[in-house]
Structure 1
Amino acid sequence: MVSRAKDSHTTNRVVRIGDDDWNDLGERAGARNRAQIIRDLVAWYLRRPGAKLPERPPIPPKA
């Protein structure tokens, strides 16, 4: 069974992403922007009309 938060939201999906990648994505995109970036990548991959790759952040400085 798939859960739904509200009628205005899309269905939740389970996607496995490693902790390091998830945390790095949150740092570079902002924790609340991760889902939008994933949706943009999927739309681009599926060649949806008007879909574009999301802009990548600058390369972080080396420690």
Structure 2
Amino acid sequence: MAPTRGTPTRPIRIDSTLWERFGASVGSLGLDRSAVLRDFIRWYTREPGAKMPRRPDVTASAKE
């Protein structure tokens, strides 16, 4: 993963409930929202070597 210190913030609008569920999901993998969003954007824009971010298994997300 590329360094992120000193990068500008990018405010986006997301429903509070969805944002909290996303935080719980990435937290269950020991990650944070920003890291997963950056990985997704790299994958989405077809950056060489980028991979789709990992998601928690169905049983973990069903408990949340």
Is 1:51–2:50 an aligned residue pair?
yes
SS in 2 for 1:48: coil
Max Rg structure: 1
Is 1:34–2:24 an aligned residue pair?
no
Please report the TM-score for the alignment, with normalisation by the length of structure 1.
0.75
* 1:20 Cα deviation after fit: 1.1
Structure 1: runs of 5 or more not aligned: 1-7
SS in 2 for 1:55: coil
Runs of 4+ in 1 over 6 A off after TM superposition: none
Question: Structure 1 CA distance, aligned partners of 2:31 and 2:12?
Answer: 16
- Name the structure where helix makes up a greater proportion of residues: 2
Cross-structure match for 2:18: 21
The one-letter amino acid paired with 2:11 is V
For the aligned residues, what is the CA RMSD?
A: 2.2
Structure 2: runs of 5 or more not aligned: none
Please report the TM-score for the alignment, with normalisation by the length of structure 2.
0.74
Identity of aligned residues (%): 38
Aligned length: 56
